[in-house]
Structure 1
Amino acid sequence: MKERNETPLERADRNFSELLQELRVIQTGVQFLFAFLLTLAFTSRFPSLDTVQRATYVTTLLLAVLAAALLMAPAAVHRVLFQMGAKRELVQISSRLAGYGMAALVLALTGSVLLVVDVTLDRGSGIAAAAGTFVVCAGLWAVLPWLLRRSLVTRRAVPEEEREPAGPGRSR
Structure 2
Amino acid sequence: MQERPSEEERRAARHETPEERADRRWSELLQEVRVAQTGVQILFGFLLTVVFTPRFAELGDTDRIIYVVTVVLGAATTGALIGPVAFHRIVTGWRLKPQTVTWASRMTLVGVVLLLVTVTSVLLLILRLAMHNAAVPWVVAGLVTWFMLCWFALPTWARHRYGTRRSGK
Assess same fold via TM > 0.5: yes
**Secondary structure of the structure 1 residue equivalent to 2:13:** coil
The match for 1:163 is none
Moved over 3 A (4+): none
> Is 1:129 equivalent to 2:114 in the alignment?
no
AA partner of residue 121 (structure 1): M
Distance between the aligned counterparts of 2:133 and 2:19, measured in 1? 52
**Secondary structure of the structure 2 residue equivalent to 1:45:** helix
2:84 to 74, 92, 95: 74
Superposed displacement of residue 129, structure 1: 2.4
The match for 1:167 is none
Q: Percent identity?
A: 38
Superposed displacement of residue 125, structure 1: 2.9
Structural RMSD (CA):
1.7
Distance between the aligned counterparts of 1:11 and 1:37, measured in 2? 38
Distance between the aligned counterparts of 1:78 and 1:133, measured in 2? 34
The match for 1:60 is 70
Contact 1:67 1:105 in 2 (8 A): yes
2:38 to 28, 37, 60: 28
AA partner of residue 67 (structure 1): T
The match for 2:16 is 6
Distance between the aligned counterparts of 2:145 and 2:42, measured in 1? 21
The match for 1:17 is 27
**Secondary structure of the structure 2 residue equivalent to 1:124:** coil
Superposed displacement of residue 123, structure 1: 5.0
The structure with the largest alpha-carbon Rg is 1
> Is 1:106 equivalent to 2:116 in the alignment?
yes
> Is 1:46 equivalent to 2:56 in the alignment?
yes
Q: TM-score, normalised by structure 1?
A: 0.86
Q: Deviations over 1:123-142 (max 9, x none)?
A: 52332222122111111111
The match for 2:152 is 142
AA partner of residue 4 (structure 1): R
Q: Unaligned 5+ residue runs, structure 2?
A: 1-9
> Is 1:95 equivalent to 2:105 in the alignment?
yes
AA partner of residue 93 (structure 1): W
Relative contact order higher in (CA < 8 Å, ≥ 6 apart): 2
Superposed displacement of residue 115, structure 1: 0.4
Q: Which shifted more, 98-107 or 133-142?
A: 133-142
Q: Deviations over 1:77-123 (max 9, x none)?
A: 11111011111110111000000000010111111111011011115
User: Kindly tell me: are residues 125 and 43 of structure 1, through their superposed partners in 2, closer, same or farther at Cα, counting changes over 3 Å?
Assistant: farther
